[in-house]
Amino acid sequence: MLRFSLFLLLILSVSCSPKLSSSFVNDNYQNREYKRIAIIGVNDRLTSRLAFEKEAVSLYKENGINAVMGIDMFPQNMSQAEQEPENLIKIIKENNLDGIITISLVDVKDEHRYREGNIRSVPVGYYRVGRHIYRRYVTLRESGYYEQTKSYVIEAVLYDLKGELTENQDTWAWTGESALIDPSSLESAANTFCKKLVNHTIKEGIIKASFKNHEN
């Protein structure tokens, strides 16, 4: 079981409609209403982190969830001292966060997918029926082929930070994963995954807006 102290170390040091391909919920996860959730993209590349954070925050807000970008509270390349559990708990409290979702790339797989060949009609001559002449066609199927693709497995983890926090507190609430096959761009990858993330967590009741929600 993930512990809060482990989470504090991971969120800043690890690089890395539709539904998510896998979803796991903590059996003890009860209170699913959140006042303010921070989205943290776990990535050494700032552009990648910002793309996922912006997209997820925008989609959650459209669904009435008060989400904020983690970069505003947990900047890139925090010092060792800034990553100390005591300081991170202080940041969480000062920003009135009661939940955090981390988004990270956990695996990249090289795969081969078979593509069937195209079917086309080819003229091969003419034939007569009475006084009429018609063109004759045969149907040909082109040979199939294998193409190499990359599968990017992205994981989202929700941490429930309500109440008083301690270093050894069990805060893990939910984990979901989905694979993206050869996304055309960073923006496309962020949009595709974040739509799955938000749709799944809202539809399945994993995250709900608090009636006492407040503005940023």
Please state at what angle helix 85-94 crosses helix 4-13, rounded to 10 degrees: 90
Distances (CA, A) of 82 to 6, 41, 88: 15, 18, 7
**pLDDT the model gives residue 211:** 65
pLDDT beneath 50: ranges in the chain: 1-18, 214-216
Q: How far apart are CA 63 and CA 74, in angstroms?
A: 24
The span from the first CA to the last CA of the chain, in angstroms, equals 31
**pLDDT the model gives residue 4:** 44
**pLDDT the model gives residue 169:** 81
Which tens digits make up the pLDDT trace of 76-123?
Answer: 988 888 888 889 999 999 999 999 999 998 888 777 777 787 888 888
- Report yes or no: 98 and 35 within 8 Å, Cβ to Cβ: yes
**pLDDT the model gives residue 147:** 76
- Report yes or no: 157 and 29 within 8 Å, Cβ to Cβ: no
pTM above 0.85, yes or no: no
Structural domains of the chain, ranges and CATH numbers in brackets: 4-107+153-209 (3.30.160)
